[in-house]
Amino acid sequence: MRRVGFMLKVRADKMDEYKRQHQAVWPEMLEALRQTGWHNYTLFMRDDGLLFGYFETPESLQAARAGMEQTEVNARWQAFMSPYFEIPEGARPDSLFVELEEVFHLD
């Protein structure tokens, strides 16, 4: 299993709403993530909106994203979540993940 870490930036004025949306992620989105190899998926957010995401997947971030791109629910979710992020207008948040290099791991 490959461990993946990534970063994005949530807009300061949308942080509370972003957190609320993630208390009720659409069931079909959760199922699509599971089916496309996103395991142990966790999001952490600093008080300035810097978001750190972590998940485990059989192959890579690129393969996991490619699987999600094939699902209709992901297109809807990305459009729904775009206004929450500091990204160019019209961009999909999942296309702008800044992947982090793993430098240490302790089991």
- The 3-state DSSP composition of the chain as helix, strand, coil percent (nearest 5) reads 40, 25, 30
The one-letter amino acid code at 87 reads I
Angle between helices 27-35 and 61-69 (to 10 degrees): 130
pLDDT in tens, 70-107: 999 999 999 999 999 999 988 999 999 999 999 999 99
And the tokens for 33? Answer: 């993530």
Q: How far apart are CA 71 and CA 17, in angstroms?
A: 25
Which residues are part of the catalytic machinery?
A: 22
Q: Where are the domains of the chain?
A: 2-100
Cβ atoms of 100 and 7 within 8 Å: the answer is: yes
| pTM of the predicted structure, to 2 decimals | 0.91
| CATH code of the domain made up of 2-100 | 3.30.70.100
Amino acid type, 64:
A
Where does 1-51 have alpha helices with state H?
Answer: 15-21, 27-35
Bridge partners of residue 85, in order along the sequence: 10
Instruction: Give per-residue pLDDT as tens, 20-76.
Output: 999 999 999 999 999 999 999 999 999 999 999 999 999 999 999 999 999 999 999
